[in-house]
């Protein structure tokens, strides 16, 4: 998956549900994640793996990236995903450097040397070791798995419980130059469009690059929230057309502002 490709919205689809897969490429997500983990019952795992080839072909009708979320430590999932030709692996329980090393070894055994990984940290130990985990060269993006983290913590997956660990993982990802995905609040009701949109706008203000979702109704909201506004684009273009250190709207245009403007225009 190219470094410059947008990751504003990543839509989860169960890998064993053809009726959802058939329309997933029409949803407008920057990536569709075929899920082999939580959304697939244990007695459907083998079928889901065998279904990946056709599922990936179906998703290639769209322009988004194709990813697979594997079950942590299950090499059969890695082999099936790489054999199907995915752009990205989603790795749950990326709670230590050793766990990512183990995945890297599996991927190399199956010809996946160049395939990037979205690592999901899901434990308190992983949060405390996030800086080292995020520096792993295999990882392109990182997020926090809210439910499993709260379970291991012995707490509730409430916004006030999750905000600090999400920000710690976010800071570690950014310090390592990696993409950071997620929302700082949980949205239980996917019919509450304004709540989803505001949560996404809040996350972008903190520097998050995008978020995952389980319902297609969230995709356009994430795409809009994690994209620069018309005003931001106009400002960035004005900054980039100035020469030297000059003033624009009363602010001195120096290197940090030029860098910010360039970052905005890379998202257009």
Are the C-beta atoms of 153 and 164 separated by less than 8 Å?
no
Burial class (CB in 10 A: 0-12, 13-18, 19+), 160: exposed
- Radius of gyration (Cα) for the chain, nearest Å? 19
d(CA 136, CA 133): 6
Question: Are the beta carbons of 49 and 25 closer than 8 angstroms?
Answer: no
The whole-angstrom separation of Cα 163 and Cα 156 is: 12
179 appears as a binding residue in the annotation: no
Residue 113: Cβ-neighbour burial (10 angstroms; 0-12, 13-18, 19+): exposed
**Partners of 68 in the beta sheet?**
34, 89
Please say whether the beta carbons of 169 and 127 come within 8 A.
yes
Please count the residues of the chain: 268
Residue 174 burial class via C-beta count within 10 angstroms: exposed 0-12, middle 13-18, buried 19 and up: middle
Consult the annotation and say whether 69 binds a ligand: yes
Three-class DSSP category at 255: helix
237 marked among binding-site residues: no
Distance CA(265)–CA(4), nearest Å, equals: 12
First to last CA, the chain: 18
Binding residues: 69, 122, 148
Binding residues for substrate: 69, 122
Binding residues for Mg(2+): 122, 148
């Amino acid at each position: 998956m190219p470094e410059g490709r947008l990751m504003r919205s990543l839509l989860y689809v169960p890998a064993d549900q053809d009726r959802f897969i058939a329309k997933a490429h029409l949803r407008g997500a920057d990536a569709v994640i075929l899920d082999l983990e939580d959304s697939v019952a244990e007695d459907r795992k083998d079928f889901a793996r065998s279904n990946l080839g056709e599922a990936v072909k179906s998703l290639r009708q769209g322009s988004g990236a194709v990813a697979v979320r594997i079950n942590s430590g299950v090499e059969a999932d890695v082999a099936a995903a790489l054999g199907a030709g995915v752009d990205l692996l989603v790795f749950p329980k990326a709670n230590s450097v050793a766990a990512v090393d183990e995945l890297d070894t599996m991927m190399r055994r199956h010809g996946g040397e160049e395939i990037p990984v979205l690592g999901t940290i899901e434990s308190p130990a992983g949060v405390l070791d996030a800086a080292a985990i995020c520096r792993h060269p295999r990882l392109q993006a990182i997020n926090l798995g809210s439910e499993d983290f709260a379970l291991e913590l012995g707490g509730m997956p409430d916004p006030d419980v999750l905000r600090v660990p999400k920000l710690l993982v976010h800071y570690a990802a950014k310090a390592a130059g990696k993409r950071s995905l997620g929302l700082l609040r949980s949205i239980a009701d996917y019919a509450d469009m304004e709540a989803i949109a505001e949560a996404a706008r809040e996350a972008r203000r903190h520097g998050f690059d995008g978020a995952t979702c389980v319902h297609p109704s969230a995709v356009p909201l994430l795409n809009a929230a994690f994209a620069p506004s018309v005003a931001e684009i106009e400002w960035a273009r004005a900054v980039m057309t100035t020469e030297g250190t000059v003033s624009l709207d009363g602010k001195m245009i120096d290197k940090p502002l030029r860098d910010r403007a360039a970052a905005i225009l890379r998202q257009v």
